[in-house]
Chain A
């Protein structure tokens, strides 16, 4: 699996490169600004691009804009955006930039390398990796006016992990229950929220995110 990294801090860029290489991923290019990212993506055709939100020259949301531009140039290019903080506004913009292959994670998630590499792989495969903090805020927003009140506590745990983009198997492992139990919860959630059930993991995630974001 080939990866392009855009991160302006040398230490982090270096750390990410080593960590991903240790897990057997190939670093096609590691750049420190948005313009170079676009060039690297066009030249290397990587399986996934990992982009920091703050990049030179403005050190604002350069990374988000570069990621969106990269996805316009290479449609469907999987992009994982890393940030020191997460905003629902940015999550929405990323999700709206085409179906699948989107990740948006806090930089802290890098500390848990196994989980992080799992997220990178998921995004490269066209899946979704939303930061738990984004999901927590989405859920908090929806619990208030009662649309999630119909769900049981377990179902809320399941929907949170599902919205992060995890598969049934991963949810089962995380909650220490069987995959069949997860499937049962998922069916119940979709019934209660009146959503179209789908076997495709990613379509399912997008439906849930669209529902919560509504």
Chain B
């Protein structure tokens, strides 16, 4: 994928031939990929021609039918109506169709040329509700700067850009012709062979150069990046606020139905005890004991509630120990490994903790796993948590609302979740949250 243009290591002995063969095969693959990119450039050109045709046919029809003698008014009218339909519906569709080619170019650039290119398109304005009428779609496609940069790339690539990826394969063919074509002058044959050798040797660089060229046009501009970022921030902010509000409502309900109700009952029991304490001390004693038990139950409920809001052990000891405590309470065998030397900020810690807690709940509910491994690491300003179980796999984030919830929770911190869960297992979930660690507290004892 990203092998440099250096030749094969000077091999000695038995493996030499095999190494040369490997190298040659690698270069042939590169030449083949170049051909594919060349084909993609041609496909783009075809699209461009189709698009130009769509755009130009109705005006040409109108222009040619009116000066006719007698003027073909009906034809002109039909052409004009056709033109409007084409301009408003078919053109945006054709431009979207063009995106399929530029999208593929971006993907191939990262896979074959080692030059990753991000998507620059504005999100659909109707993604958060509303209808996708033709006029809205037209406005969306036409006002997106990326559309015009796509067009620029397809034109540029179709006219000149294709030369770069074609060079390795093209020169190789010329070189082969140079070897097997005795009728050509010697200097021409030598030139062809030299060209082939050079192009083969430098083909990874040619591909990389092509990738860089593509990136210069197809990558999001600074403005597009900012627009996308604003869009993403607005969405995650809304979700974070919604989640927070739902959480507060849940807490309010739990307090109202739980501890608060128990305290009311306790007050009534104590009052009853007070009224009969002189006349019936035994019954009063029973009521007092009842009130005491109610207070124990109220405390237990408050404890559970606090655990759900912010587990004390998380506040006390930080993420790794809180997850270890979680593991100790689980019926599964859970192995926790951590190399955290400091603590992330409290909100990140909390989000990560509840994400792991939710994942473990998922595992014990669905996966029928006997063991789970949790790996907590912090490298390159990124908190990485891996949760792997030996259950039967088949977890799908599209179906499980639990996984979606975790993704939303993490998104508020620019965190991401990746899941690999083939049928038959094992399931492996990796979460990444960018964050810095603060230095650990030093104990005074």
List residues of A whose CB falls within 8 A of some B CB. Answer: 34-35, 38, 58, 60-61, 65-66, 68-69, 84-85, 87-90, 92, 106-108, 111-112, 137, 140-141, 143-145
Q: Is there contact, CB below 8 Å, between B317 and A85? A: no
| Chain B facing A: main interface SS | helix
B445 near A85 (CB under 8 angstroms)?
Answer: no
- B295, B306, B443: the one contacting A85 at CB < 8 Å is B306
Would A65 and B445 be within 8 Å (CB), given that A87-B313, A87-B325, A108-B296 are in contact? yes
Contact A34 B303 (CB under 8 A): no
Given known A-B contacts A60-B316, A108-B296, A111-B292, A141 and B444 have beta carbons under 8 A apart: no
CB interface residues, B 303-326, toward A, < 8 Å: 303, 306-307, 312-313, 315-317, 321, 324-325
Q: A88-B325, A88-B329, A141-B329 are in contact. Are A60 and B445 (CB under 8 A)?
A: no
B312's nearest neighbour on chain A, judged by CB, is A85
Within 8 A of A (CB), among B269-311: 292, 295-296, 299-300, 303, 306-307
Q: Give min CB distance, B156 to chain A, whole Å.
A: 62
List the 7 closest pairs (A to B, CB-CB), nearest first.
Answer: A144-B331, A69-B445, A60-B316, A61-B316, A88-B328, A89-B325, A108-B296
**Contact between A58 and B441, CB atoms less than 8 A apart:** yes
Whether the Cβ atoms of A38 and B312 lie closer than 8 Å is no
With A58-B441, A65-B443, A108-B296 as contacts: A85 and B303 at CB distance below 8 Å: yes
Q: How far is A145 from B334 in the complex, measured between Cα atoms in Å?
A: 13
User: Could you tell me how many residues of chain B have their Cβ less than 8 Å away from some Cβ of chain A?
Assistant: 27
A-B contact pairs, 28 of them (CB 8 A): A34-B445, A60-B316, A60-B317, A61-B313, A61-B317, A65-B443, A65-B445, A68-B445, A69-B445, A85-B303, A85-B312, A87-B312, A87-B325, A87-B328, A88-B325, A88-B328, A88-B329, A89-B317, A107-B299, A108-B296, A111-B295, A137-B328, A137-B329, A141-B328, A141-B329, A141-B331, A144-B332, A145-B331
A163 to chain B, nearest CB (A): 15
- How many residue pairs link A and B with beta carbons under 8 A? The number is 60
CB pair B444–A35 under 8 Å, yes or no, is yes
Residues of B within 8 A of A90 (CB): 313
Q: How far is the CA of A88 from the CA of B327 in the complex (A)?
A: 10
With a cutoff of 8 Å between Cβ atoms, the chain A residues found around residue B441 in the complex are 58
Nearest-Cβ distance from residue A120 to partner chain B, whole angstroms: 19
B56 at interface, CB cutoff 8 A: no
- Shortest B317–chain A CB gap in Å is 6
| Residues of chain A lying within 8 A (CB to CB) of residue B296 | 108, 111
A106 to B295, CA, bound (A): 13
17 additional contacts (CB under 8 A) given A85-B303, A85-B306, A85-B307: A34-B445, A38-B445, A58-B441, A60-B317, A69-B445, A87-B313, A88-B325, A89-B324, A89-B325, A89-B328, A107-B299, A108-B300, A111-B296, A112-B292, A137-B328, A137-B329, A144-B332
Q: Which residues of B contact A140 (CB under 8 A)?
A: 331
CB distance from B336 to the nearest CB of A (A): 11
What is the CA–CA distance of A141 and B303 in the complex, to the nearest angstrom?
20
- Interface membership of chain B positions 148-169, coded 1 if the CB is closer than 8 angstroms to chain A and 0 otherwise: 0000000000000000000000
| Bound-complex Cα distance A84 to B303 (A) | 8
Assembled-state Cα–Cα distance A78/B312 (Å): 25
Nearest-Cβ distance from residue B154 to partner chain A, whole angstroms: 61
Nearest B residue (CB) for A138: B328
Nearest-neighbor residue (CB-CB) of A68 within chain B: B445
Q: Which residues of the partner chain A approach B2 to less than 8 Å between Cβ atoms?
A: none
> Which residues of chain A are near B317, meaning CB under 8 Å?
60-61, 89
Distance in angstroms from A8 CB to nearest chain B CB is 15
- The CA of A35 and the CA of B444, in the complex, are separated in Å by 8
Contact between A141 and B330, CB atoms less than 8 A apart:
yes
CB-defined contacts of A87 to chain B, threshold 8 Å: 312-313, 325, 328
Residues 324-366 of chain B, each 1 if its beta carbon lies under 8 Å from chain A, else 0 = 1100111111000000000000000000000000000000000
Could you tell me if B313 and A89 are in contact, using CB atoms closer than 8 angstroms? yes
Instruction: Known contacts A85-B307, A85-B312, A88-B325; decide if A108 and B299 are in contact (CB<8 Å).
Output: yes
When chains A and B are docked, how far (Å) is the Cα of A104 from the Cα of B325?
Answer: 16
Give A81 to B306 CA distance when docked, in angstroms. 20
Taking the nearest CB of chain A, how far is it from the CB of B158, in angstroms?
65
Residues of B with C-beta under 8 A to A137:
328-329
Q: How far is the CA of A214 from the CA of B263 in the complex (A)?
A: 39
In the complex the two chains form, what is the Cα distance from A143 to B331 in whole Å? 8
CA distance A90 to B321 in the complex (A): 10
Measured in the bound complex, the distance between the Cα atoms of B370 and A106 in whole Å is: 31
Instruction: Looking at the assembled complex, report how far the CB atom of A81 sits from the nearest CB atom of chain B, in whole angstroms.
Output: 13
Which of chain B's residues have a CB closer than 8 A to the CB of A58? Answer: 441
Query: Residue B444 contacts which of A34, A92, A111, A144 (CB distance < 8 angstroms)?
Result: A34
- A84 and B331 form a contact (CB under 8 A): no
Cβ distance A212 to chain B, nearest Cβ, rounded Å: 11
Task: List the A side residues contacting B303 at CB < 8 Å.
Answer: 84-85
Bound CA–CA A137/B328 (angstroms): 9
Residues of A within 8 A of B325 (CB): 87-89
Closest to A111 in B: B292
Q: Determine the chain A residues whose CB is within 8 A of the CB of B445 once the complex forms.
A: 34, 38, 65-66, 68-69
Q: Which residue of A lies closest to B313 (CB)?
A: A87
Q: Hey, which chain A residues are within 8 Å of B307, CB to CB?
A: 85
- Using CB atoms, name the residue of chain B closest to A92: B328
Nearest-neighbour CB distance to chain A for B119, whole angstroms, equals: 45
Q: Which residues of A contact B292 (CB under 8 A)?
A: 111-112
Closest residue to A213 on the B side, CB-wise? B328
Shortest distance from the beta carbon of B28 to any chain A beta carbon, whole Å: 55
Residue of A nearest to B296 (CB): A108
Report Cα–Cα, A69/B444, bound state, in Å.
Answer: 10
B321–A84 contact, CB under 8 A? no
Contact of A84 with B312 in the complex, beta carbons under 8 Å: yes
Collect the chain B residues with CB atoms within 8 Å of residue A111's CB.
292, 295-296
How far does the alpha carbon of A85 sit from the alpha carbon of B316 in the complex, in Å? 12
- Least CB distance from B314 to A in Å reads 10
